[in-house]
Each structure stands twice: as C-alpha cells, then as structure tokens.
Amino acid sequence: MADRIIFIVGPTAIGKTGLSFELARIIDCEIISCDSMQVYKRMDIGTSKPAAMLLNALPHHLINVVEPSEEFSVAQYRELAVKAIEGIISRKKTPLVVGGSGLYAKVLIDGIFEAPVTDRRLRESLQEEAEEFGPEALHKRLAGVDPQAAAKIHVNDLRRIIRAIEVYEKAKEPISELQKKTSGLGERYDVRIFGLTMERAALYRKIDERVDLMFSGGLVGEAEALMAGKLSLTASQALGYKEIFGYLAGEYGLEEAKRLVKRDTRRFAKRQLTWFRGDERVEWIELDENFDTEAVARDIWKKLS
C-alpha cells in the first residue's frame, strides 16, 4: 500500500488547528501548514498561527519561513512542502496537511506545470490590445491556438486569457497541454482529503468571536509593527491586516476596521467552501458549533482504518 498523506481542509475559524492536534495524538504524524499567510514571520495574530506551545509540542512545517518583505509564490510553497512531506515519510511518519488555502492544496495533490517566465513586454502589449479591441478579441485569439483553454476561461477573465496567450507564445505549446503534464502527490501516495463544514450562521459566529479575540490579543499593534517595515505586495494584502492598515492611515475608526475584518473574513470563508466543494475527492464532515475535537478526530481515524 502506498504511503498515506492526510489533508484537513475547510474555511477559516472552523477548528482545523485544534482537530489536527487531536488527530496527531492518535496518529504518529507531523503537520504541514497549508496556509498562504502563515509562511510569513511576525504575522502571528492575524493569521491565527498555532500557539508557540503547540508548535513546540509537535513538528510543524511551512510556518514562519519567509520575511514579510518577501514575495512567496505557490511554486515556492509546493517545492518546500513536497520536500517536507517526503522527509516525514522517510521518517516513517504520516504527513498531515492542514489549512484553508485551496490553491496550495491543489498544487500539492495535482501538481503544477512548469510555466515560462513572465514576459512583461508581451503582457503589456496584450493588455493594450484588449483595451483597444476588447477582451473578446483576445479570447478569440486564444481560441485559435488553444481551444481547450478558451473553453474553460470566461471571455471577461482578461488576466487568465493574457496568461494563456503568453504561455503559448513563449513555450510554443498550449497551456492546456502543459497542464496535462503535471505530476502531483496524488499519483504517488494514498491521499485522503477531509473537509470540515458547518451551518453558515454558526461558522459566522465563530469568525466574529475569533476576530474579537484577535483585536483584544494585539492585532492592531502587530499590524502597526508590520506597517513600519517593508511589506511585499502579498503580505500587504493579507486578510485582517489590510483593514487595520486603513485604520492606521486614518481612513476610518477602529470599530469600522473590526467590522471590515469580520465582513471580509466571512466572505473569504464562503470562497473557501466554494473552492473545496468543487473537488469531488473531499470527504465532508459536518460539525456542530461546539464540536468535540477528540470525537471527530477518532471518527476520521476510523475512516482511515
């Protein structure tokens, strides 16, 4: 039987971290964070990183690996995560991948194709062409060289249209063909994906409670310290921080900042659920608002046995 990799995915604030620690008590595993913002150092409160005590109690990977001033790509994540997973398996332990970043989970399981380097001049030329003739003209051009990609990309999704044409022009091969050559962990290992879900109103209450705790726990001070240094484009747009940056810049008051963080987090949770529900491999677990983490962990263990 192939070595197993377990994924625990789902929306923010639902309880993935606590559940992963309970599962780790049952299974001899190490945890790989699947969160696009927990990779950043000194972004602790706003990204809801596990407490230092928990991080020290169990081996964790892909947390606190880059400075907030650095850009961090999905390709970099995949490279580091695959290396960590292979190391865990070599130690005869089970990798437990935990988080809510759907794209990061997908590139681990399904792979990522080797895309050509961005050609800024070509991209600007295509952008100008779209502005002059409309996105429909570019979409028609894409359909001429890569009908499969054009069929999947909406005519108004200009960013993806431009990228698909750019890949074809640079690689001399359709992006749809390059994507078929990807190789992910799902081809080499026994991958099980468990998705956590909850009644929407209950999840939103948990989100609001978490945001209140973030503010009382020093989120504003953490954001202020980050704002004083250099931030990468990715880090500066992090949920929970960008709203505080607006408050610190005097654009609105503290209560409005808190309201915006709650609103934007609820919207983010909805997008996360939509993403994961599009993957038929996910085994869904319906949770109560105050679920028993130990009982749910043992239920997952039974499903794995």
pLDDT tier, 61 (very low <50, low <70, confident <90, very high otherwise):
very high
* pTM beyond cutoff 0.85: no
What is the tally of structural domains in the chain? 2
Statement to judge: residues 230 and 275 lie in one domain = yes
The total number of residues written for the chain in this structure: 305
Closest Cα to residue 34, out of 73, 4, 7? 7
Statement to judge: residues 125 and 257 lie in one domain = no
Task: Give the SS3 label for residue 163.
Answer: helix
pLDDT tier, 117 (very low <50, low <70, confident <90, very high otherwise):
confident
Q: What's the rounded Cα separation, in Å, for the pair 94 and 207? A: 30
Q: What's the rounded Cα separation, in Å, for the pair 296 and 258? A: 32
pLDDT tier, 272 (very low <50, low <70, confident <90, very high otherwise):
very high
Closest Cα to residue 202, out of 9, 15, 45? 15
* Residue 132: domain span: 120-180
Statement to judge: residues 175 and 192 lie in one domain = no
User: Last residue of a domain, which of 160, 180, 200?
Assistant: 180
> What is the model's pLDDT at position 212?
98
Statement to judge: residues 93 and 194 lie in one domain = yes
Which has the higher per-residue pLDDT, 30 or 233? 30
Statement to judge: residues 228 and 86 lie in one domain = yes
Statement to judge: residues 159 and 282 lie in one domain = no
Residue 14's φ and ψ, nearest 5 degrees, are -80, -20
CATH number for the domain spanning 8: value is 3.40.50.300
> What is the model's pLDDT at position 23?
95
Q: What's the rounded Cα separation, in Å, for the pair 284 and 198? A: 10
pLDDT at 301 over 70: yes
pLDDT at 156 over 90: no
Q: What's the rounded Cα separation, in Å, for the pair 136 and 193? A: 38
What are the E-state strand segments in the chain?
4-9, 29-33, 60-61, 94-99, 190-198, 282-287
Per the CB < 8 A criterion, the answer to whether 283 and 195 are in contact is yes
pLDDT tens figures, 159-218: 889 988 988 888 788 887 776 666 788 888 999 999 999 999 999 999 999 999 999 999
> What is the model's pLDDT at position 242?
94
pLDDT at 57 over 80: yes
Statement to judge: residues 98 and 126 lie in one domain = no
pLDDT at 116 over 80: no
User: Last residue of a domain, which of 154, 180, 206?
Assistant: 180
> What is the model's pLDDT at position 172?
82
| Structure-token pair, residue 33 | 């964070």
Q: What's the rounded Cα separation, in Å, for the pair 103 and 294? A: 28
* DSSP class of 118: P
